Structure 1
Amino acid sequence: MSMKTEDNSVLPLIVENKDPIFNNEGKVELLQKIFFGGNHLIPDTFDKEFYDKINKEYIELNNNYKENNGTDQQRDGFDREISKDQVEAAIWRLRTWTAPGPDQQFAEFFKHAGEKFTEAIVTMMNIIWQKGEIPTEWKMADVKFLRKPGKTSYMYYSSSSYRPISLTCVICKLMERVILERIVAYTEGHRLIDLTQKGFRKQPLNKKCVTPFSPNYS
């Protein structure tokens, strides 16, 4: 159930000074080595100072939140239970005609499953929210390789002509959306994001971002 009609199968891969790779096992091994070789985990390339700085800021924000939100009423904006309305809104926003994740459940199923099913999802999400433990299955993803647009036909035989995408479980996407809406509302409402930051904000700030530069080009 995907709108993509183009065949996205990986063509035989040509490696310099080696025989072409025709079998799928060999293709997977090569692409996995290139895209998931773990270079980002090499100590020499890891910015520990930046990591420690971010971790410190996170701990400070967390401590300030606990100090300033001691009562249940004050925590209501962030720690409250997940409601049925929130889950229904997240389901309504799901994109259809997209490929499923490891659970093989399509978005269309969630949109037409009915009220009882939605209530069951709400109950499950609240248990997860209270315990703070994500099901292991939700952390899994099916990785697919798509050919990059604009590549000439002869370049399709190179591993650099492909890019990986991760297909995750739809139900995991639902909970991510519910939590994201809550985090955005809390951070924006408490002005935790610097006012000079224009990117990755929920409000349409394109005009505000361009305005400060206008006098320089007039």
Structure 2
Amino acid sequence: MEKDYRTASGKFWQTVRRLRRGKQLSANTIYSGGGELLASTGDIVGRWKEYFKDLLNPTDKPSVEEPEAKDSEVDSFITQAEVTEVVQQLLGGKAPGVDEICPEYLKSLDVVGLFWLTCLCNIAWRSGTVPLDWATGVVVPLFKKGDRSVCSNYRGITLLSLPGKVYSRVLERRVRPLVKPRIQEEQCGFRPSRGTLDQLYTVHRVL
């Protein structure tokens, strides 16, 4: 562990967390929506699919504003400089998506590799469609607390394609200056350099 800490603090803390948790048992059964206990693998997988489908597809959808005229800078071709900057900011040690491409693979790309990744991004941008792997996420349920057989006692994280994330991040960086004036100052979620501590501080000051 001492060696892990000196060479890679991330690996060190992963080891610490694993030792603290100890052995964690996975649920061999899960309750259906109607309260029936499911035991077969097929039924359990089907229940998880049903649960996350209902959770992530609410019936009440927010209203969407009509888009304004396109900005020439936003609508222009994606440059290799944009892609390179986003790739350099990727964090290592993250789980890959369905395509099994790790961030380390992308960060090790040379100029030629970054050129072809930029070409893929431009094909997606101009066609309005993305590769299937970019649009496919692997949902992993993580246990929180309570009964392990109850789906609502888990939170799901979605593992997405890293090349798809690069493409999404490039687009997000382009539209951010246009969207920022419309965002309320109180919003901290999904905004850089803001988080829970900012909200807690605000509440503390108000109270």
CA RMSD of aligned residues (A): 3.4
Structure 1 spans left out of the alignment, 5+ residues: 70-74
* Count, aligned residues: 184
Paired letter, 2:188: G
| TM-score normalised by structure 2 residue count | 0.71
Would the alpha carbon gap of residues 17 and 171 (structure 1) be closer, same or farther in structure 2, given more than 3 Å must change? closer
2:84 to 81, 88, 102: 88
**C-alpha distance in 1 between matches for 2:54 and 2:168:** 27
| Deviation, structure 1 residue 147 | 1.1
Would the alpha carbon gap of residues 187 and 32 (structure 1) be closer, same or farther in structure 2, given more than 3 Å must change? closer
2:45 to 23, 28, 45: 28
Would the alpha carbon gap of residues 138 and 98 (structure 1) be closer, same or farther in structure 2, given more than 3 Å must change? same
Would the alpha carbon gap of residues 202 and 145 (structure 1) be closer, same or farther in structure 2, given more than 3 Å must change? closer
**C-alpha distance in 2 between matches for 1:136 and 1:187:** 28
Paired letter, 2:107: K
**C-alpha distance in 2 between matches for 1:17 and 1:130:** 48
Structure 2 spans left out of the alignment, 5+ residues: 1-10
Matched, 1:184 2:173: no
User: Within 5 A, what are the aligned runs for 1:62-211?
Assistant: 62=68, 65-66=69-70, 75=72, 77-148=73-144, 151=145, 155-188=147-180, 191=181, 193-194=182-183, 196-200=185-189, 201-202=191-192, 206=198, 210=202
**C-alpha distance in 1 between matches for 2:185 and 2:35:** 51
2:28 to 12, 25, 39: 12
Would the alpha carbon gap of residues 8 and 137 (structure 1) be closer, same or farther in structure 2, given more than 3 Å must change? farther
| Deviation, structure 1 residue 40 | 4.4
Verify the 8 A CA contact 2:29 2:44 in the aligned structure 1: yes
**C-alpha distance in 2 between matches for 1:19 and 1:210:** 45
| TM-score normalised by structure 1 residue count | 0.68
Runs of 4+ in 1 over 6 A off after TM superposition: 6-9
Q: Percent identity?
A: 20
Would the alpha carbon gap of residues 145 and 204 (structure 1) be closer, same or farther in structure 2, given more than 3 Å must change? closer
Would the alpha carbon gap of residues 93 and 12 (structure 1) be closer, same or farther in structure 2, given more than 3 Å must change? same
